[in-house]
Chain A
Amino acid sequence: MADSGRRDSSTRFAHSSVLADAACAAQLRQEFSVWLKRYFAVDPTKASDVVLAVNEALANAAEFAYTAAAEPGAMSLRADYDCSASSLTVTVTDEGAWRITDPAKRSHTRGRGIPLMQALADHASFDSTATGTRVSLVWNHIAAALPAAN
């Protein structure tokens, strides 16, 4: 897995140019979950909500972004914490071509990723263009973890 951009801190998680496939999505989800629990004081429900929503964005990129291409492209996951607003913004981007389908036409067994993201995040936006997709998820009441005493 190519991972040319990896700079994590207490207010930023940035993993870019990750191969957009299911295994890498799972790995990235796991790394993000570790970062979230390390730097933030989130209750189990909030932690579950955030990790699941992020998973859905990664899963969509892995599944849909590059279906028309010969092989998977890249996706990026970035999270930025705004201390003054106690808000966490997570962005998943890919350079592929997945489109938001009409909910009325969606298969009954599939397609819950977007409704899940909308239900789990305080704000979810989906910006799809010819050159790629950006999913942006925002949570507004995230407290930073207190520094551990040394």
Chain B
Amino acid sequence: MDSRPDAGSSCTLDERRVDDISVVGVTGVVDMLTAPDLEKAIAQAAKSSPTAVVVDMTAVEFLASAGMGVLIAAQDELAPAVRFAVVAEGPATSRPLKLVGVTDVVDLYPTLDEALTALRS
């Protein structure tokens, strides 16, 4: 699923299963225009009753507070029945997530491998 080829707000979402974990892959821009699509993708990923949902934002180049709100809401709604984690690294994603304390609420990993390892333990 992808959305919005508008000026600067293009976000591509995909979902795949790694054993019993659903991984939502996100590419591009997560802002007030595209955050609702991320929210829907996370809800969709949770429908198949995975043990965990991981939002992989390795390929996200811009993350606005609207996107951060979606991550926190997902954590609230899914946990503890379904574990939730985010993968992100770099100035556009992990840095602001840490700066405003989103990482106090949501588990953040720099790589997908580390997230999957942690969720399997």
Contact = CB atoms under 8 A, between A and B. Distances in A.
A22 B64 CA distance: 12
Chain B interface SS verdict (over half):
mixed
B86 interface: no
Interface residues of A, number: 30
A59 B92 contact: no
Nearest to A30: B8
A41 B63 CA distance: 22
A33 to B, nearest CB: 8
Given A23-B6, A30-B7, A116 B99 contact: yes
A63 B32 CA distance: 9
A116 B32 contact: no
Interface string A102-122: 000000111111011001100
Contacts of B90: 44
A110 B70 CA distance: 9
B69 A119 contact: no
Nearest to B75: A109
Contact of B100 (A59, A110, A115): A115
Contacts of A30: 7-8
